[in-house]
């Protein structure tokens, strides 16, 4: 079981989602199975089979979320070292080829959202930036080839 680092807000969202799955989705799946069972012979009842499969997928999702919650560790932004790129830091980088600058926040896979400029610590760029300090160069192998970035600024 690997540790998943998340912010308090993300942990709270995960708990709310899990509670919804258990208290709303699970009873709905049970009702769907019961309704399908009432419709006759289970051997030829596609609705029953579909309801059972949906219940199995729901239970798998609940189990996965419970495992994630059990392995989740809260990151506190006040304890983050900004002398180097690490999870929860915001890093401004410049692409050496295009001279374009962009700021990303390095976050867990669960929190990654490129539209919000949050990239996963496990993404190629996230991995390539980890541990780098201001002024250092990061050579990152991306799907479209090697990209070279300069670390301009690190903050929380």
The CATH number linked to 21 is 1.10.287.180
More confident residue, 84 or 38: 84
- What's the pTM value of the predicted model, to 2 decimals? 0.67
Give the residue from 53, 74, 95 where a domain finishes: 74
pLDDT of residue 42: 66
Cα Rg of the chain, angstroms: 22
Instruction: Output the pLDDT for position 44.
Output: 73
- Domain assignment of residue 56, given as a range: 4-74
> Reduced to 3 states, what is the DSSP secondary structure of residue 3?
coil
Contacts of 7 (CB under 8 A, 6+ apart): 74, 75, 77, 88, 107, 111
Mean pLDDT value of segment 33-61: 85
- Measuring CA to CA, which residue among 105, 125, 101, 124 is closest to residue 113? 105
The per-residue pLDDT for 6 is: 81
Question: Are residue 59 and residue 13 in the same domain, yes or no?
Answer: yes
| 25-57 per-residue burial string, b: 16 or more CB within 10 A, e: under 16 | beeebeebbeebeeeeeeeebeebeebbeebee
Distance of CA 98 to the CA centre of its chain: 29
Give 111's pLDDT tier (boundaries 50, 70, 90): confident
Task: Tell whether 70 and 12 lie within a shared domain.
Answer: yes
Q: CB–CB of 80/155 below 8 Å? A: no
Same domain, yes or no, for 70 and 18?
A: yes
Domain boundary among 74, 97, 123: 74
| Domain tally, the chain | 2
- Interval 69-106: pLDDT, tens: 898 888 777 778 888 998 889 999 999 989 999 999 99
As a whole number of angstroms, the distance between CA 68 and CA 122 comes to 16
Q: Is the pLDDT of residue 54 over 80?
A: yes
């Amino acid at each position: 079981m690997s540790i998943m680092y998340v912010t308090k807000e993300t942990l709270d969202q995960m708990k709310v989602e899990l509670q919804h799955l258990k208290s709303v989705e699970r009873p709905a799946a049970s009702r769907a199975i019961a309704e399908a069972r009432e419709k006759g012979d289970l051997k030829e009842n596609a609705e029953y089979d579909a309801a059972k499969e949906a219940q199995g997928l729901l239970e798998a999702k609940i189990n996965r979320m419970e495992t994630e919650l059990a392995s989740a560790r809260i990151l506190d932004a006040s304890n983050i070292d900004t002398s180097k790129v690490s999870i929860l830091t915001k890093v401004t980088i410049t692409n050496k080829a295009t001279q374009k600058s962009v700021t990303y926040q390095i976050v867990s896979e669960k929190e990654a959202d490129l539209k919000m400029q949050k990239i996963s610590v496990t993404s190629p760029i996230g991995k390539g930036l980890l541990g780098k300090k201001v002024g250092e160069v990061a050579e990152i192998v991306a799907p479209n080839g090697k990209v070279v970035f300069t670390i301009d600024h690190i903050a929380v």
